[in-house]
Structure 1
Amino acid sequence: MANSPAADVTITEPLVRLLLREAELPYADDPLTLAFAGWDNEMWRLGTTRAVRVPRREIAVPLITNEHLVLPRIAALLRPTGVQVPAPLAAMRRTEPFERPWSVVPWFGGTAALNIPRAARTPWAHTLAEALGHLHVPAANDAPINPVRGQALITRDEAMRERLAGLDMPAAIVAAWDAALAAPAWNQEPTWVHGDLHPGNVVVDDDRLVAIVDFGDVTAGDPAYDLAAAWIMFDAAGRQAFVEASPQVEEATWVRARGWAAAIGVTLSAHSDDRPDYADLAREIVNEVVG
């Protein structure tokens, strides 16, 4: 997204190596290379089967903490589907010389779905739907609560209107948002919600869905937030396959999901100046919502 924030701590290979050795992990001396530096965390590939997830900003500390708390449970929920999640192999607490929690997680072979065309994603649309069906069950009482993800759409109406005022969006985007606001709200138990389900957080290998990653925004709430993936991830054919593989989802939930997709498309449109890949994703989402 635009103006990607600078790290408030410099993560280096010697620092990550020191953390691994201080933790006395048996793979501490495996080859180590920086794989990806995101807004909040860095991923260092460790050997061929592991990665080290390290927060580069203090604001990411609760996200890592959330993953430590819930990912083992979510991995168990999704196990029957064959879709993996980065449940920590080692969940490390704050210790000197790095006063932040960090993780060793599995490394998933494949590529982010963001790097493949929408038309090539249809073969695994049904698998993603099945995985979300297993995820969207009543959440535990200690589930993290995100103030935005999975909450009622009305809580984002003011921010949505402000963004729309500064953008030239098709009328159908506003109509999708208005329809979602008017739809019946989620009135069942809060379910587990991934909270950041876009093609950059899905790992695929050819026509196979391998893993869903980056659960830092995991929360409990309305599953419509995740089901916005129907428009965020897929073209019309993929969306049809995704919807048909989600038979337990009520029509009102799909209306709210389309509204969330519109909101995410608008947000990315307003905040993707230095990420061409996400600017492209924003245009694609808007086009899919408009239909």
Structure 2
Amino acid sequence: MERVAIDEGFVRDLVRDQHPELADLEIRPVPSGWDNQLWRLGDELAVRLPMTERAPALLRKEFRWLPELAKRLPLPIPTPQHFSEPTARFPRPWIVARWVPGEPADGAEIRNVHQSVDNLARFLRALHQPAPVDAPTNPGRSVPLATLAEVFESRLAAEAEAVDVRRVRQVWSQAIAAPHWTGPAVWLHADLHPANALVSDGTISGIVDFGDLCAGDPATDLAAAWKLLPQDAADSFFSAYAMTTEAAIHRAKGWAVLSALDLLSIGRAWERGLPGGQPTWGRVGRRILERVFAFA
């Protein structure tokens, strides 16, 4: 798709063309995610415009599944409200979704740890239900950790000077040696890093960006014990989640270190002025490793 200049007037014209009943609502830009440009639409809605090649398929997936999942989830999510077809003006599909208030956790302190632990555990218990046979899968999330060994080795080699290689390898080895998940594939958010959890008044209050939504091993999401929560909160989280095993915790630690290595790489890209970098993510990656290493 050729790059187009997107401003308030452009977004208003898109809305007026396909959703005229919403065209008089206030429109204003807000910080955007990896795949989509985001605009507030009034107080309760947001326009999500896909900016990457993969983004339209992710939006279609969210539109298909999130309204159904949202009914049972105890935290607000950006449930799609209106689907918008490609046009000559903007040749990709886009959606109008529910606006979820809060600040991303990569830039907001979680002060109310007890309530945040409870909110996250309740959210994942509600989400982690058996997925239907036609649920989406993800080649980087719906698979046993051991199948990602080459990805792990590549990421570790790239960050070897920035991490304790011995301890990272130890966690990874324990994770891939743990018994595999043998239960039914459950629904996963599959991308629970701090930019995708929202914080209000010091408490985790919402979850966004379900582009990686898929079915798989719940341990993939349980890595959030170290990715989202402050140090020493993981034990309380697993007690509140109440549906885990020692093997699942080992697998979750493996997913956490794999994610941390990825976040470190993205942070390093920002430091070097490379495309795709994020200024806070290197720090987030280091904190995740510290929390995993400190976990008994």
2:202 corresponds to 1:199: no
Distance 2:289 2:114 in 1: 19
Q: Is the 8 A contact 1:198 1:233 kept in 2?
A: yes
2:178 to 169, 180, 183: 183
Ranges in structure 1 where 5+ consecutive residues have no aligned partner? 1-6
Q: Deviations over 1:206-256 (max 9, x none)?
A: 144321110011001111111100011122332222111011112111110
Give the match for residue 69 of structure 2: 74
User: Structure 1 residue 174 and structure 2 residue 177: aligned?
Assistant: no
Separation (CA, whole Å) in 1 of partners of 2:169 and 2:292: 10
SS in 2 for 1:146: coil
From 142, 148, 152, give the equivalent of 1:150. 142
What is aligned with 2:10?
15
Q: Deviations over 1:68-112 (max 9, x none)?
A: 11101110121xx3x111111212233332221211112222212
3-state SS, counterpart of residue 204 of structure 2: strand
Q: Return the structure number with greater relative CO, CA threshold 8 A, min gap 6.
A: 1
Residue 249 of structure 1 aligns to a residue in which SS? coil
| CA distance in structure 2 between the partners assigned to 1:157 and 1:9 by the alignment | 40
2:107 aligned residue (111, 115, 129)? 115
Q: Please tell me whether the aligned partners of residues 93 and 102 of structure 1 are also in contact (alpha carbons under 8 angstroms).
A: yes
Give 3-state SS (helix, strand or coil) of 1:54's partner: strand
Corresponding position of 1:3? none
Letter in 2 for 1:67: E
The DSSP-based 3-state class of the residue aligned with 1:115 is coil
> CA separation in 2, counterparts of 1:240 and 1:119?
17
Q: 1:126 aligns with which of 95, 118, 134?
A: 118
**Which of 233, 242, 258 is residue 263 of structure 1 equivalent to?**
258
Partner of 2:282: 279
Instruction: Report the identity percentage.
Output: 37
Query: What amino acid is the match of 1:14?
Result: G
1:9: Cα distance to partner?
A: 4.8
Contact residue 121 and residue 234 of structure 1 kept, 8 A: yes
How many residues are aligned here?
283
Aligned counterpart, 1:101: 93
CA separation of 1:231/1:107 partners in 2, compared to 1, >3 Å: closer, same or farther? same
- Alignment root-mean-square deviation, CA: 1.9
What is the CA-CA distance between 1:15 and the residue it aligns to? 2.3
> What's the TM-score, normalizing by structure 1?
0.91
CA offset digits 1:158-216 (Å, max 9, x no partner): 11112212323212111111111000111111100101111211122114432111001
Q: CA deviation at 1:118?
A: 5.0
Matched-pair contact (CA < 8 Å) for 1:194–1:217 = yes
1:88 pairs with 2:80: yes
TM-score after normalising by structure 2: 0.90
Q: Deviations over 1:137-172 (max 9, x none)?
A: 111222111110232101211111122123232121
Is 1:220 matched up with 2:212? no
Q: Evaluate the alpha carbon distance shift between residue 269 and residue 208 of structure 1 in structure 2; reply closer, same or farther with a 3 A threshold.
A: closer
1:249 aligned to 240, 244, 249, which one? 244
- Indicate whether 1:231 and 2:226 are aligned: yes
Structure 1 window deviating more from structure 2 (48-57 vs 232-241): it is 232-241
Aligned equivalents of 1:113 and 1:242: distance in 2? Answer: 17
Give the unaligned 5+ runs of structure 2.
Answer: 271-277
